[in-house]
Amino acid sequence: MQQWTIGNTTITRVEELLGPLFDPTTFFPDFDPAFIDKHRKWMLPGHFNVSANRIISSMHSWLVRTPHHTVLIDSCIGNGKDRMPFRDWHEMDGPWMHRLTDTGVRPEDIDFVMCTHLHVDHVGWNTRLENGQWVPTFPNAKYIFSQQEFDFWHAERDRNEGEAFARVNNKTFDDSVLPVMHLAHLIEGSEAIIPDLLQVEPAPGHTPGSITVSLTDKGQEALFTGDILHHPLQVYEPHWNSAYCELPEQARATRLSVLEHCANRGSLMMPAHFGPSFAGEVRNDGDGFEFVFT
């Protein structure tokens, strides 16, 4: 199981899915097949499957273990949940929980569950089914997400029964967000979750209340960026939004800000969906950026 070290803190990737999951022309409205040849050197074979014509994507959580706290950042899709019409995510029966416990961490050991936003693939393991009810998977944790994010999806839940993605988000809100609200801490603006170690900052665009989580220890920094970038191509083409960015212009501005932050500070960027090796450093490259996997 892959690990990184920031000062006295260890970060472990807990995988749920990995593979050629998405059609690039659907996922990125600005996608041009010419970019495959332009970036072939690093894209193949780990980040694009030519035969399937799919971008390779990962669904994973980040497990952060400090000397005193255990933190889970994003909780993937989850098992046993109604996600139709997304067939590949519907009523999953995957090994994510076994992979978590293989790290030596039990659900009851988690102190904080931090959701960078409330999309279906970031909150699913918040809950598990017990006696026909969705209950918190991590009973001793404080669940952290933004007040703005909660308010936005609560309003969407009340008024939106339309297209497929909206219906899935409605179900997600019901089975993976509402059942943990008695354990939730909703933040507004910046907030230190663990003083001098773990900091939340607003990062709107992909969703109105998206956040980043920065880990600073012994002068080193890791930045957990959620879906500000879905694929390393967006490091090279930061104007590309996914089809699921709620606030397109804000998403571009936030993406550029995050890339500049990581490049200028030497931060380890830890996105939610990059393929292997899943994390790395952003470097200035002329008028743009490049990504160096670690």
pLDDT digits (tens, 9 = 90+) for 10-25: 999 999 999 999 999 9
Show the tokens assigned to 76: 């993937």
pLDDT of residue 157: 84
Phi, psi of 65 (to 5 degrees): -120, 110
What global pTM score does this model have?
Answer: 0.96
One-letter amino acid at 192 equals: A
Do 125 and 153 contact (CB within 8 A), yes or no? Answer: no
pLDDT at residue 260 tops 80: yes
**Looking at residue 285, what DSSP letter applies?**
E
Angle at 271 between CA 234 and CA 98, to 5 degrees: 140
Asked if pLDDT for residue 159 goes beyond 80, the answer is no
Q: Categorize the per-residue pLDDT at 166 as very low, low, confident or very high, splitting at 50, 70 and 90.
A: confident
**By the 8 A CB rule, do 288 and 255 touch?**
no
AA letter at 286: G
Q: How far is Cα 269 from Cα 19, in angstroms, rounded to an integer?
A: 21
What fold characterizes domain 3-293? Answer: Metallo-beta-lactamase; Chain A (3.60.15)
Tokens 């170690």, residue?
197
Question: Which of 99, 74, 78, 100 is closest to 89 using CA atoms?
Answer: 78
User: At 224, which helix (H) or strand (E)?
Assistant: strand 220-226
Laid out side by side, the sheet with 191-194 consists of: 191-194, 198-202, 211-217, 220-226, 268-271, 280-285, 288-293
Pull the structure tokens for residue 78: 């989850």
Q: Give, as one character, the DSSP assignment of residue 169.
A: H
d(CA 222, CA 219): 10
Helix 164-172 with 147-159: angle, nearest 10 deg: 120
Q: What is the pLDDT of residues 22-38, one digit of tens each?
A: 999 999 999 999 999 99
Is the pLDDT score of 192 beyond 80? yes
Q: pLDDT tens digits, residue range 84-138?
A: 998 899 999 999 999 999 999 999 999 999 999 999 999 999 999 999 999 999 9
The Cα–Cα gap between 90 and 184 comes to 26
CB 81 within 8 A of CB 44: no
Helix, strand, coil percent values for the chain (each to nearest 5): 30, 30, 40
- Position 6 pLDDT exceeds 90: yes
> What average pLDDT does the structure give for the chain?
96
Confidence of residue 162 (pLDDT cuts 50, 70, 90): low
What are the residue boundaries of the structural domains of the chain, listed by start? 3-293
- List Cα–Cα distances, 286 to 191, 236, 253, in angstroms: 34, 11, 19
Q: Calculate Rg over the CA atoms of the chain.
A: 18
Cβ neighbours, 10 Å, residue 33: 10
